[in-house]
Amino acid sequence: MTQPANILTEQTITVGEGSAARPISVIQRLGAPDADKPVLVWLGGYRSDMSGTKAIEMDALAADQGLGAIRFDYSGHGVSGGDFALGTISRWTEEALAVISASGARRVLLIGSSMGGWIALRVIQEARRLGLGFTVAGLVLIAPAPDFTSELIEPSLTEAERRSLDERGFFEEPSEYSPEPNIFTRALIEDGRQNRVLTGLIETGCPVHILQGMKDPDVPHTHALKLMEFLPLDDVVLTLVRDGDHRLSRPEDIARMKAAILSML
């Protein structure tokens, strides 16, 4: 019988040096001592944090199954330090790699939501390039938004937004999820071009399960279909939720996420 894991540790690690140093808040659930299964790692979306519904439900699943689990906030998000306006895909990927490495996990299962899906793919690429000491056993991608800056934002920029980027270094747009507007910086967009993954074959070396709502106003389901075209070497399952939105946080959506995770253990 699986022994539940109910020990939570909280810590703050510093990523970067000098003026680039930022404190990253991490919550880690320790797995059962005899568990030979991957540690679940939550990779959140743009402006989301580790206290969101899906992140909490992932952790609850880990507790039920006796698994290890890691949640953290990117710099400028949640309770982590750092300036959100300095955030880029490179910066947040560096933080994800540092958190996983500091945890001591040898095998991880990455659960990436929206922008976190992009971060997950970059984590795999960078861990391989840097020869880091962990392997990725699987990917669960929820409304993944790889290359969203160049694929979804740049093509739809208005003249006013382009002018704001040139003159102010950022532009704002209303958010459906917060009273505060979304802010997209020139640095984020320029860095996004250097982190594109939809440019050739993506070799994850692990099974992939994509969950995508067909009524997603932020990341169209055609984007998930496009991502699949770049994953021909992997075992990929795509679940399209006909009435699903971007968050996919309803009870039935959470059940799908948990089933996808369990299928990879």
pLDDT number for residue 178: 77
Distance (Å) of CA 144 to CA 14, 66, 77, 225: 27, 27, 19, 11
Q: Which residue has the tokens 């390039």?
A: 129
Burial bucket for residue 49 (CB in 10 Å: 0-12, 13-18, 19+): middle
Given a contact cutoff of 8 angstroms between Cβ atoms, the answer to whether 231 and 4 are in contact is no
Interatomic CA distance for residues 110 and 124, integer angstroms: 10
Q: Could you tell me which residues come within 8 angstroms of residue 59 by beta carbon, excluding any fewer than 6 positions away?
A: 27, 29, 40, 42, 69, 71
Q: Which fold has domain 7-149+202-262?
A: Rossmann fold (3.40.50)
Residue 1 is predicted with a pLDDT of 45
Predicted pLDDT at 100: 98
Are residues 238 and 142 in contact, defined by beta-carbon separation less than 8 angstroms?
Answer: no
Q: Spell out, as residue ranges, where the chain has pLDDT lower than 70.
A: 1-5, 34-35
Task: Quickly list H helices, the chain.
Answer: 53-65, 89-103, 115-130, 148, 159-168, 186-194, 221-229, 251-262
pTM here is 0.95
Question: Which residues are paired to 26 by β-bridges?
Answer: 11, 72
| Predicted pLDDT of residue 180 | 83
Domain residue extents for the chain:
7-149+202-262
Average pLDDT, the chain: 95
